[in-house]
């Protein structure tokens, strides 16, 4: 059986080749963005305890962005490593004071005091700032932070480790910060998924173009005029 061929003219599959190249050029960067930002910038996890209720309940899914200690701010909900407090896994609490701050609480106070002023904590469960735990009056050293859980009745936080650096934790222990706006992480995931789909379609079109060219090879135009059979 003779293979079909085309003499001169436009090469078969040219349109497929162009489409494949365009899709590959678009898909590859999207895949790269999804991988780099998805793996290196954000991580999803499940809340394992109730110490941050009512803000985050046990079983909730959260997304956290990786940050360095220098990026820690008051009010941040963070995941940090504290083996002396939680031997396995990461601790999950809120930063209420950073280096240079003075944070204090006495039983009966209506609020935690930060630098001499009542700290507004609308996130605290039941609006109760202390109840359990030790009273404290701490000047936070530079490079450290004072952390509390939103559920003050059920949180193993800085109040219970006042004999260790006044309950403070080194900011270098911070691994990530919880983000409430999932827009950016979702966009990165969508970019990665879209990139994979576009890239695979491009590969498929490239393979189809190659098959088309093999099926209909282009023969060079003969230098002499040709006549139809029988002429």
Whether the pLDDT of residue 176 is over 60: the answer is yes
Counted residue by residue, the chain has a size of 231
CA dist 218 → 10, 24, 174, 196, 206 (Å) = 8, 25, 64, 33, 18
pLDDT at 211: 72
Identify which of 185, 184, 204, 186 has the alpha carbon closest to the alpha carbon of residue 27: 204
What's residue 7's pLDDT? 41
pLDDT at residue 5 tops 90: no
Better pLDDT: 45 or 131: 45
What is the per-residue pLDDT for 6?
47
At 161 the pLDDT is 94
- pTM, 2 dp: 0.65
Higher pLDDT, 41 or 38: 41
Lowest-confidence pick of 38-42, 111-115, 174-178: 38-42
- Lowest-confidence range among 102-106, 131-135, 227-231? 227-231
Query: In this model, does residue 79 exceed pLDDT 70?
Result: yes
Alpha carbon distance 148, 169 (integer Å)? 11
**Band (31; pLDDT cuts 50, 70, 90):** low
pLDDT of residue 209: 64
Place of tokens 């200690």: 69
Q: Please give the share of the chain, as a percent, with pLDDT higher than 70.
A: 61
Which range has the top average pLDDT, 30-44, 77-91, 126-140, 196-210?
77-91
The pLDDT score that the predictor gives to residue 172 is 96
- Residue the block writes with tokens 């910038």: 41
Q: Which two tokens stand for residue 155?
A: 């949180």
Q: Which of 40, 45, 75, 80 is nearest to 62 (CA)?
A: 45
Domains of the chain (ranges plus CATH)?
A: 43-183 (2.10.109.10)
Mean pLDDT of 111-117: 95
Report the mean per-residue pLDDT for the chain. 79
């Amino acid at each position: 059986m003779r293979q079909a061929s085309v003499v001169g003219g436009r090469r078969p599959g040219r349109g497929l080749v162009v489409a494949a190249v365009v899709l590959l050029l678009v898909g590859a960067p999207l895949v790269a963005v999804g991988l780099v930002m998805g793996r290196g910038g954000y991580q999803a996890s499940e809340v394992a305890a109730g110490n941050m209720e009512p803000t985050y309940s046990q079983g909730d899914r959260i997304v956290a962005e990786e940050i360095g200690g220098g990026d820690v701010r008051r009010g941040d909900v963070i995941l940090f490593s504290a083996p002396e407090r939680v031997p396995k896994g990461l601790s999950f609490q809120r930063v209420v004071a950073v280096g240079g701050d003075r944070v204090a609480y006495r039983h009966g106070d209506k609020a935690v005091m930060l630098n001499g002023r009542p700290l507004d904590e609308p996130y605290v469960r039941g609006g109760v700032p202390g109840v359990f735990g030790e009273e404290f009056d701490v000047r936070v050293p530079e490079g450290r932070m004072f952390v509390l859980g939103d559920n003050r009745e059920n949180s193993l936080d800085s109040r219970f480790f006042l004999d260790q650096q006044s309950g403070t934790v080194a900011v270098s222990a911070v691994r990530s910060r919880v983000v409430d706006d999932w827009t950016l992480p979702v966009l990165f995931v969508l970019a990665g998924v879209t990139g994979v789909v576009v890239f695979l379609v491009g590969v498929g079109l490239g393979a189809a173009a190659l098959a088309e060219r093999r099926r209909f090879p282009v023969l060079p135009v003969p230098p002499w005029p040709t006549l139809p059979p029988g002429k």
